[in-house]
A and B are shown apart, each in its own frame.
Chain A
Amino acid sequence: MTDTARIQDSIHEQDEYNFAYLDEQTKRMIRRAILKGIAIPGYQVPFASREMPMPYGWGTGGVQVTAAILGRNDCLKMIDQGSDDTTNAVSLRGFFEKTAGVRTTCETAEATIIQTRHRIPEKPLTGEQILVFQVPIPEPLRFLEPRETETRKMHALEDYGLMHVKLYEDIARNGHIATTYAYPVKVNDRYVMDPSPTPKFDNPKIDRMAALQLYGAGREKRIYAIPPHTKVRSLDFEDYPFEIQQFDKPCGLCGADNVYLDEVILDDEGGRMFVCSDSDYCEERRAQGHLGPMAADPAAARIGTKEPA
Chain B
Amino acid sequence: MTAKQDTQSLGAKAPLAAGFRDPVHDAQACFRAVMNAMARPGSRQPVGAPDLTPPAPLTPVAAALALTLLDYDTPLWLDKPLMASGAVKAFLRFHTGAPIVSEPVEAAFALVSSPGQMVPLAGFNQGSAEYPDSSATVILLGQDFQAAQTVTLSGPGIENSTVFSTGPLPPVFWEQAVANSRQFPRGIDLIFAGSSDIAALPRSTRILPTEA
Query: Which residues in A have some Cβ–Cβ distance to B below 8 Å?
Result: 18-19, 24-25, 27-29, 31-41, 43, 45-46, 68-72, 152-153, 155-157, 188, 190-191, 208, 210, 212, 225-231
Contacts and interface: CB of A to CB of B under 8 A. Distances in A.
A39 to B, nearest CB: 4
B156 A31 contact: no
Given A38-B202, A152-B130, A229-B157, 15 more contacts: A18-B24, A19-B24, A19-B25, A31-B35, A35-B38, A35-B137, A36-B133, A36-B135, A39-B202, A40-B133, A45-B133, A71-B28, A72-B28, A188-B204, A227-B157
A-B pairs, 5 with minimum CB distance: A39-B202, A227-B157, A156-B129, A36-B133, A230-B156
Contact of B157 (A36, A69, A153, A228): A228
Contacts of A41: 156, 204
B68 interface: yes
Interface stretch (B45-53, B69-77, B142-150): B69-77
Given A40-B185, A229-B158, A35 B132 contact: no
A28 B32 contact: no
A68, A156, A190: most-surrounded residue (chain B CB, <10 A): A156
Nearest to A232: B156
Interface in B181-202: 184-185, 189, 202
**Chain B contact patch, size range:** 35 or more
Given A18-B24, A40-B203, A28 B68 contact: yes
Given A33-B133, A40-B204, A45-B133, A227 B40 contact: yes
Nearest to A71: B28
Interface in B143-185: 155-159, 184-185
A34 B130 contact: no
Contact of A191 (B28, B32, B74, B185): B185
A34 B157 CA distance: 14
Contacts of B185: 40, 43, 190-191
Interface string B77-109: 000000000000000000000000000000010
B23 interface: yes
A38 B38 contact: yes
A68 B32 CA distance: 10
A39 B38 contact: yes
A188 B28 contact: no
Nearest to A149: B130
A98 to B, nearest CB: 16
Given A69-B32, A69-B35, A228-B159, A43 B132 contact: yes
A142 B130 CA distance: 16
Nearest to B160: A229
